[in-house]
Each structure stands twice: as C-alpha cells, then as structure tokens.
Amino acid sequence: MFDATQNLTSAGEFDSDARILMNGLIQMGSQTPLMFGTHMFNINGTQRRYGWVQCSRDITSEECGTCLSNMLEDVENCCEEKKVWRVFSPSCIMMYETQPFFLNDSNAPAPQQAKEKDGTKSWIIIVIVVIGTVVAALLALSAYYLCGLKHRKNRRNYMQNLSPIFSQDQSDIEETGNSDLSMMPLSTILKSTNNFSDEYKLGKCGFGTVYKGVLADGKEIAVKRFSKTSVQSVEELKNETILTAKLQHRNLVRLLACCIEQNEKLLIYEYLPNSSLDFHLFDMVKGAQLDWKQRLSIINGIAKGLLYLHGDSRLKVIHRDLKASNILLDHEMNPKISNFGLARIFGGDQDEASTIRIVGTYGYMAPEYAMEGLFLVKSDVFSFGVLLLEIISGRKSSKFYLSEDGLSLLVYAWNLWHERKEIELMDPLIEKTCVPGEYLKCIHIALLCVQEDAADRPTMSSVVHMLVSDTLTLPDPTRPAFSVGRAVVERAVVDRESSSNTSISANEVTLSELSPR
C-alpha cells in the first residue's frame, strides 16, 4: 500500500543521496535483531529527511532485506516526484518524511523544539497504528496458516480411516478423498438422528439402513448407514463415495459428506422430502397425484440424468441398478437418480465389461447382463425402458408376470403395441390428464429401449432427443426376448458358477425397494 504526498520542488532529489541513504538504512534495519531501523539524513547539507524501515519477526534477515529492497524499487517507480512517502506490506514497512516522527533526535533545531515534540507525538500515534495494523494482518495470516495445517491434519486422519476400507491402490483413496467431499463428525450425525433411533428411520437399502437427520441449524439430511458385517457394503461405500462426490447434476442425488469413525461407515445425502418414485407410482392414492404432466417431467429428468452419466460427465458411468426405488423426488417432484453402490466407471473408449457376479434387481436387468454377465451403457438403456413402461402403466415389472398370464410387462406392452391396443396399458389414474400423442410416443421409445439386441437399442442421447421432438420418425421395435425374472437370473448365475468353479450366490441379486432420501 502506497501513500505519497508533497511534490518535489526540484527534480532529481530522490535519484541522488536519498537512494544511497535509504539503501544503507535497509541494510542496517534488516541486520538488527529487532529488524527495525530509523535515521535522519541531511540532503545537500541543508535539508533534513527522516527514514524508517521495519520487518515482521516471522521472516528471516535475508527475507527482510529482500522485502525492503523490492519495496524501494516500487517507490522509485511510483513516487519519484514525491518528498514524502509511506509503503506498507504484510511483512515490511518503509517511511520517508520531511518532519521527525521518532524520538531522540538531538539534531533538531532548538527554536522548533516544541513544535517538533508535538509532531513527534502525532507521528508516534500514526506509527503505533501502522504497526498495530501490520501485526493484526500477520496474526490473521498466521491463523489462516494454522487453520490450513489443522484442515490438512484432519484430512490425513480421514485418509487413514479410509485406508483399511478401500483397496491398497493409492489412487482409490485419492479419488475418494477429493476436495469435493466434506467430512462430518460421528457425534454430529448421532445427535441429528437421535442415535439412529427407529423414529428417524426412512427404510432399508441394499447394504444398510437410511435415516433422516436434522442438524443444529435445522437443515435436513439423509444418512445412509452401511452394515458393519457385510463385505459387499464396503464395495458399495467405495463406489458411492467416489462417484457421487464427483458427479453433479440436477437429476442426480447430491452427496454432502462422509463419515468413517468407530467402525461406522456413513454417507450423508441431501434430504428429499417426497421419498422415492415407487412410493408414489405403485400406490392407488399417491399415484393419483402423479398426473400425466408430472410423469412426463419425471421421465425427461431421469433420461437427462442417465445421459449425463453416460457421456456428459467427466466420468462414463454405468449405474447397473436403475429402478423406481432408486429415483428420489425433491420438494418439486423433480427426479434424482440415487444409489450408486453397484455402478461402474468406464475409462477412455471402453464401452463394455463383464462379471461373474450378477447384481441388480429382478425385472430391470438387460438379457446380456442376466445371462452372460456383460454390462454396457445399453444395459442402463434397457432398465430405463422398463422404468418408462412402469411410469405410464402404473404397474411393477418384477411382479407383473404374476397377474398377466405369465407374460412380462415388456412382452405384454409389445403385444398391445403390435395390435394397436396401446391404450389398454395406460394407468387408469392418468386417463383424464394424458396427452395421447405423448403417451404413444413414450410406449414406442420404451419398446425401442428393451429390445433384445443391445446394438438395436438407442443411446440415451437419442432417447432425450426422441422425447422432446414432435417430428422425429421412430423405427419399429423388435419383440423383447423374454422376461428377465428371478428364475432366469438364478439359472444364469448357477450356469456361470459351474463353468468358472467360483462360489457365487444368486442372492447377490437384490430386491431392495428403499434408498436414501
């Protein structure tokens, strides 16, 4: 900070004796134990100048000299035509005056002694204020530095807590402990959930229980508490922490924080007051509140969230468990995809992967995944097609075959479309609000998404385009292959288990219906 007053009456004063004398004062001040120096100069033998230099005590003598020298260069650039100037920085200060502003100046003219005493008092006050400001700034910087050290120490402790849970691959831990994710103390979570009392319980999910929490400031949260005994819950925690912390989209649930303390593994999400889509969709009373406009908005939101996962985010993510219970609804009934415990990241140009462990939910699995363990982005597209049929029909795919002559919802919808009887699939609760053209287009898109051959299914980019276009001509879908139900999945798992001689349980296919909200 610069303060310069009083123009020179004759050019060149600063360029002569003053520079030499100030350099000497800098050398003297930087080498004293207190890093402080004052001096009176005689300019041309007739004029007096008073100099002051001082450095903060948290820097070295060399750093003090450098700070003051750099400051003098700045003075030459800005204040060359000034008699009086004062320069301040967090680490050093420099002042150059025509009047005395420090004590013990025995060379001052006697007639002006009283006046100079008054001036000295004024300048003492100014200097005290300046030094106080500098000290305050240094204290603030020190506090900021110490807070930074504490934050880094807390993060190191957090990383040490994560290490036993994640693999030994350091990249896994670094991905999880990224700066996007905050930490929340267990004590705060226990207080917000009344020690995980039943009255705060929202429901169960695949590998744990979800609780509602209320923080001290009144903010509501959802806490996913992972099972302490399940090995699979560790993998799900890893997936959700890495993925949800990095993925930010209005149609994805937002992860707020993580907690790994005292054998507890907890994820803290935004609280979504309207629960999950299945809570409304498959209930006669609540389903009546989902008119056609609302359902179409939910369909579009889910499609955009999947599009973000598959190609628009910094990661290419396959969700692998898209279903109505994993679609949460905010206060305005906007959909948010949740539960990334089974998700997988694809890198680079990778489009598919395989596994011998079949995980997911009956009724939503693509045939290539259920039968061969092959999963790809088009597997999510298949699940979206099933979900789309559920939304417009109000019927649950995994239970449909029990009431419709053993047919799956997919085959039943295809038969109606083929016979031009699509209206029979419509949920009676939306008959009065439904727009026929939009309804027929949704059935058509859903049937394109659930085709047997993954290559025939559209991408989510194409699906989003189809949903918003009124002029696009859609191709005819082919008949879905079969019902991807419990018997099919269990037979596929047993076949793969026999061929690989690996112990795998069909019970890894989940039937979870509730998720964090």
* Of 30, 2, 38, nearest in space to 120 by CA: 38
Q: Tally Cβ neighbours within 10 Å of residue 215.
A: 14
Q: Is the dihedral of CA 142, 145, 151, 155 positive or negative?
A: negative
* Of 375, 361, 356, nearest in space to 501 by CA: 356
What is the rounded distance in angstroms from the CA atom of residue 157 to the CA atom of residue 161?
A: 6
Token pair 């005994």 in the structure block, residue: 229
Beta-bridge mates of residue 376: 352
Non-local (6+) Cβ contacts of 337 within 8 A are 251, 252, 253, 302, 305, 306, 309, 319, 322, 326, 327
Q: Tally Cβ neighbours within 10 Å of residue 80.
A: 15
What is the rounded distance in angstroms from the CA atom of residue 409 to the CA atom of residue 500?
A: 33
In the chain, % helix, strand, coil (3-state, to 5) comes to 45, 20, 35
CB 348 within 8 A of CB 337: no
DSSP class of residue 198?
Answer: G
Q: Which of 278, 321, 380, 427 is catalytic?
A: 321
Sheet holding 264-270, edge to edge: 182-183, 255-261, 264-270, 220-226, 208-214, 201-205
What is the rounded distance in angstroms from the CA atom of residue 255 to the CA atom of residue 261?
A: 18
CB 8 within 8 A of CB 16: no
CB 455 within 8 A of CB 379: no
Q: Is the dihedral of CA 402, 407, 408, 413 positive or negative?
A: negative
Classified as helix, coil or strand, 472 is coil
Beta strands at 220-226 and 208-214: parallel, antiparallel or unpaired? antiparallel
Non-local (6+) Cβ contacts of 220 within 8 A are 212, 213, 214, 271, 273
Is-catalytic flag, 405?
Answer: no
Positions marked catalytic: 321
